[in-house]
A and B are shown apart, each in its own frame.
Chain A
Amino acid sequence: QVQLQQSGAELAKPGSSVKISCKASGYTFTSYYISWIKQTTGQGLEYIGYINTGSGGTNYNEKFKGKATLTVDKSSSTAFMQLSSLTPDDSAVYYCARGAAIRAYWGQGTLVTVSS
C-alpha cells in the first residue's frame, strides 16, 4: 500500500534551518511528483511547492521562494524540504503529499516549532 512516512517533530531556534524528510513506499517513486503543504491555525492550508521526483525540477509558490528548498534522493525514494532562516511564523505542521494537482496520499505531518 502507498505510504508517505515523514520525519519527526522539530524544535528549532530562530535563524536556523531544518530539513524534513518524506519517505515513499508502495509505488514507483519517480512516477509521481511530491507536493509540500503548510498548515497553521491562523493561515489554514498553504501550498509550498512540488518537485518532479524523476528530474528534480521544482515549482514553488512565490511566497515560499527563498524559504523552502525541495530535493529528492531517488535511491531511497525520499523527498526532502529544507526550511531556512526560521522565524516563529514558520511554526506549523508540514505535510508531503503524492501528486502535483491531485493529492491522493498524504504523509502524517511534521510539526516544526520555532522558539528561542
Chain B
Amino acid sequence: DVVLTQTPPTLSATIGQSVSISCRSSQSLLHSNGNTYLNWLLQRPGQPPQLLIYLVSRLESGVPNRFSGSGSGTDFTLKISGVEAEDLGVYYCVQSTHAPHTFGAGTKLELK
C-alpha cells in the first residue's frame, strides 16, 4: 500500500501566521491518465472531514483562497496563508491514484 507521511504531526500557530504541511508519498501519485489524485482534508473536532483541495492544487468550492496546494510526484504541500481560528483541526492528505486509497496520519493545527 502507498504510505503517505505527513509532517509535522503537530503545528502551533498564531492567528495570521502562514504555515505549511508536507505530505510525502512512498510512490509517485501520477496516474496513467495524467491526473494526480492527491487531496487535502480538514477535520474539525466532532465533525466529518471536509475537502479543501483536490487534484493537488484545485480549491474546492467555498473553501477560502488562503488555502493552497502544490507539488508533484511524491512531494506535496498544503499552505495556509494567514491562519484563522476556524482553521484549527486535523489536516489529512489522501491519495486515490493507487489501490487501496490511503490517508496520511494527520497534522494537528493548534493555537500557539
Binding site for B on A (CB under 8 A): 44-47, 59, 61-63, 95, 100-104, 106-109
Please indicate the chain A residues that have their CB under 8 angstroms from the CB of B7 in the complex.
Answer: none
A62 to B92, CA, bound (A): 22
Nearest first, the 4 closest Cβ-Cβ pairs linking A and B are A101-B96, A61-B100, A45-B103, A106-B48
CB distance from A48 to the nearest CB of B (A): 9
Q: Which of A63, A101, A108 contacts B37 (CB 8 A)?
A: A101
Closest A residue, CB atoms, query B92: A45
A100 to B95, CA, bound (A): 11
Q: A45-B92, A101-B37, A108-B48 are in contact. List 10 more A-B contacts (CB 8 A).
A: A47-B101, A47-B102, A61-B99, A61-B100, A95-B48, A102-B51, A102-B96, A103-B51, A104-B51, A104-B54
Name the residue in A45, A95, A106, A108 with the highest tally of chain B Cβ atoms < 10 Å from its Cβ.
A45
Determine if B103 and A95 form an interchain contact, defined as CB atoms under 8 angstroms apart. no
A106 to B55, CA, bound (A): 18
Determine if B37 and A102 form an interchain contact, defined as CB atoms under 8 angstroms apart. yes
Please indicate the chain A residues that have their CB under 8 angstroms from the CB of B101 in the complex.
Answer: 47, 61, 101
Please indicate the chain A residues that have their CB under 8 angstroms from the CB of B55 in the complex.
Answer: 102
Q: Is B78 an interface residue (CB 8 A)?
A: no
Q: Is B50 an interface residue (CB 8 A)?
A: yes
Determine if A95 and B49 form an interchain contact, defined as CB atoms under 8 angstroms apart. yes
Contact with A along B75-112 (1 / 0, CB 8 A): 00000000000000000101010011111011000000
Determine if A109 and B48 form an interchain contact, defined as CB atoms under 8 angstroms apart. yes
A108 to B48, CA, bound (A): 6
